[in-house]
Structure 1
């Protein structure tokens, strides 16, 4: 695999509950690129994202992030990524500030650096009024914004977002899109998994489609070809394009 790419995924396979959840998936991702990951329920998206984030190990195949193999250097590799699962992993007894500092420290930052990083992401995501509030009393939309802040607080090179617009209002969805574009323009790579085709068309450079655990489509996405992507997706999902 070439270290020229930020992320290299080579022939990754994973079984879950005795069946193949992901089979032979391979792709690369460059710095500054935004990849939309599509698939119907059960297509293998969550398993794939969990492997990319280092939460699951592939049964076979390799994943490298900035030249580091997740199997051999998991701690170093995880410091380079930010992950927002579909359900944000929050501790109800910790405040917003405590979450951000803890997530930054887990990525190797000193306390002083973690505090400055928390200040920066709080301002960017407009969480200032919530800094001392416990996660357990936040609304669903506020929890989602905190989960996003935790994924971004350490300025990761690879950002993995699973349904990040859940519970966000239209204004916040627009802000999320701007944030994704900003991070990509600054050199981060982003993987956006969503059920909403409009979100992919709005912010992604490429689209990858998983179906029955296999990568069925991986190609550039252009704004003026959004309807084509819709046709490809539904063709694959219904079996007409598989």
Structure 2
């Protein structure tokens, strides 16, 4: 299978590190014209420098797409995309009874409304052209709501509802909408979360992450954290021409954490 994104314009929100950066690399290697996004000019410029080795064309947009202002500014500067990957997201453990309204609202705006705004802005153009791909990067936590991150799980379940409903809304247009559900993944955010344990034990990040999976996600079949490239591969496939019959789906890259046969 040869996946080719030549002449395709691709937006990846939250893509200066982790899964988003790996996705950007994959699209560039496949010939795509990629726009990466981060909150600061410095972060975007650093990511662009690192990605330049992979060929293709890469541009950047600095702004917090969890805000309406930044989304509007992006739309004015870049009015059309063929592929939109809604990767922007935040997470972090916090007890339900210690999570104030402001944190619920912040998680909702960043994890959910960023994707809503971008899909609402770019899907009409895709429909007119008769081709497009919208991908929401959700999580296995959408199905296995973590008791220490209920506010996070809520936003990831919300993404599934939006992606399924929007896929039906765009039926017959040539535009597909899907969600990808990573499990525990060795992203920069997870590395930061596990840093204290790495420092305490002296073990490698991979070993500490595997121990975390075995302790906290005992249903995992691969018995380790996924690599960001493994998640990116699914996102690239579902964004490709070859995935034209896949829409309204929740595609797991969770290492078997979700204990279900469907």
TM-score range, shorter chain: 0.3 to 0.5
More strand by share: 1
TM-score (structure 1 length as normaliser):
0.37
Query: Going by fraction, where is helix more abundant, 1 or 2?
Result: 2
Q: Compute the TM-score of the two structures, normalised by the length of structure 2.
A: 0.34
